[in-house]
Homo-oligomer: A and B are copies of this chain.
């Protein structure tokens, strides 16, 4: 297929959908391999961004793509709408979201262990905002619900994929002693084990 037409089809599909479309879906519907689709999209992204006469751009969201307006023109576009409501996520909700993003799927009990406080309302608020969703139940007594982040999370915070999340490892914090590091690893393992078993 002509590459120009391919770009047109992709743009038309992304426009009509209004939502994120996964590479798989684009590839299946158009009947072109994923690698080519990805190349075309990357090319489109560069062209859109470099061309001031384009008011839209393409964002990669959780291994899919979605059209959005260019942030450069925010000042004009916002006037079309009523003043935007701030998302209103509390510190508690953001903390909880941060924990879920790095540990999904995760139970509420585990979240509360990390935060040290009850997180019922934070979890409820995130569910309501469609930033997290239930992703099944842990195969453990009581069958606790597991939570994971949604596409809306990736969209709202501009992460392309899992690998786009900043990396924070325990070693980020300077380890002063060899002994501590070892026991730290051990500790983490047992904690993990506990979660799996419980």
Contact at A73–B8, with CB atoms within 8 Å?
yes
Residue of A5, A7, A52 ringed by the most chain B CB atoms within 10 A: A52
Interface bits A1-18 vs B (CB < 8 Å: 1, else 0): 011110111111111111
Contact at A80–B17, with CB atoms within 8 Å?
yes
Contact at A77–B2, with CB atoms within 8 Å?
no
Enumerate chain B residues within 8 angstroms of A70, measured Cβ to Cβ.
8, 12
State the main secondary structure of chain A at its contact with B. helix
Contact at A53–B5, with CB atoms within 8 Å?
yes
Contact at A9–B76, with CB atoms within 8 Å?
yes
Contact at A54–B13, with CB atoms within 8 Å?
no
Contact at B52–A4, with CB atoms within 8 Å?
yes
- Shortest beta-carbon distance from A57 to chain B in Å: 9
Residue A55 CB within 8 A of the other chain: yes
The 8 closest A-B pairs by CB, nearest first: A12-B55, A11-B55, A7-B53, A12-B73, A4-B53, A8-B55, A12-B69, A16-B69
28 cross-chain CB contacts under 8 A: A2-B52, A3-B53, A4-B53, A7-B52, A8-B52, A8-B54, A8-B70, A9-B55, A9-B76, A10-B55, A11-B56, A12-B69, A12-B70, A12-B77, A13-B55, A13-B69, A13-B73, A13-B77, A14-B55, A15-B55, A15-B56, A15-B67, A16-B80, A21-B80, A29-B76, A29-B79, A29-B80, A30-B76
